[in-house]
Amino acid sequence: MPQTLHIDFVSDVACPWCAVGLAALERALDQIKDDVQVDLHFQPFELNPQMGPEGQDVTEHLTQKYGSTPEQQAQARAGIAARGAAVGFEFRKEGRGRVWNTFDAHRLLMWAGEQGARQQRDLKMALLKSYHGEGRSPADRAVLADAAASVGLDRAQAEEVLKSDRYADEVRERERHFQQLGIHAVPSVIVNDRHLIQGGQPPEIFEQALRQIAAQPAGSATTEV
């Protein structure tokens, strides 16, 4: 019987490398599906938890946060777009014009996870494509409800979640939990609560790491990639 790996994909929908990492991870999972079963969960991480409702121009934001020039940012975007294209994720010029708060997106993803693992995965990918491909705000509750409906989730239920404060405490607790584990950058892929694969790795790196972890006996040493 194939071994089952529990995977926590810690990420933010505002993070372009998270889109690359998820697309690459899914390619790796497709390669190992006959040998390894996976229990995949999406966990919240906010790159900009203090971002106001008005958002901020992405060039201005990255200059303030990292000191990078518009030219350096353009070069970085080109590199990310190439990495995305290699794993089937399209970054379009319309996408990611502004940086937004993503807390409501994480609340909705937690609700989607209660509907099922596939529903949560589909919503996660829909939100990544909405932001990085179309430039739609993950802070806009109508956009979030649209994404939920697009993957077959009940729009009215999604809107009720968004109008309330449901899952707010749960999201904050999960964020604190992973921060206390030392997660300060995303994507972070945690396997069986003890093995860390950091960053938007290529599919072959994910595949190799997951096969190695699956082959290890229970209680083996923690590993990091």
Q: What is the pLDDT of residues 129-185, one digit of tens each?
A: 999 999 999 999 999 999 999 999 999 999 999 999 999 999 999 999 999 999 999
Check pLDDT > 80 for residue 2: no
* Residue 225: inside a domain: no
* Residue 21: inside a domain: yes
Predicted confidence band at 221 (pLDDT cuts at 50, 70, 90)?
A: low
Q: What is the pLDDT of residues 39-81, one digit of tens each?
A: 999 999 999 999 998 999 999 999 999 999 999 999 999 999 9
* Residue 222: inside a domain: no
CATH number at residue 124: 3.40.30.10
Model pTM above 0.85: yes
DSSP letters of 92-127?
-TTS-SEE---HHHHHHHHHHHHH-HHHHHHHHHHH
Q: What is the token pair recorded at 22?
A: 């998820």
Q: What is the pLDDT of residues 87-134, one digit of tens each?
A: 999 999 888 899 999 999 999 999 999 999 999 999 999 999 999 999
* Residue 223: inside a domain: no
Q: Which of 46, 62, 72, 69 is nearest to 96 (CA)?
A: 62
Average pLDDT, the chain: 95
pLDDT at 93: 87
Higher pLDDT, 223 or 202: 202
* Residue 221: inside a domain: no
Q: Which of 179, 187, 102, 111 is nearest to 136 (CA)?
A: 102
Domain that holds residue 100: 3-215
CA distance 206 to 197: 8
Check pLDDT > 90 for residue 12: yes
Mean pLDDT of 13-34: 97
* Residue 155: inside a domain: yes
* Residue 12: inside a domain: yes
CA distance 146 to 68: 34
CA distance 58 to 156: 32
pLDDT at 224: 75
Q: How many CB atoms lie within 10 A of CB 221?
A: 7
CB 94 within 8 A of CB 131: no
Number of domains the chain contains: 1
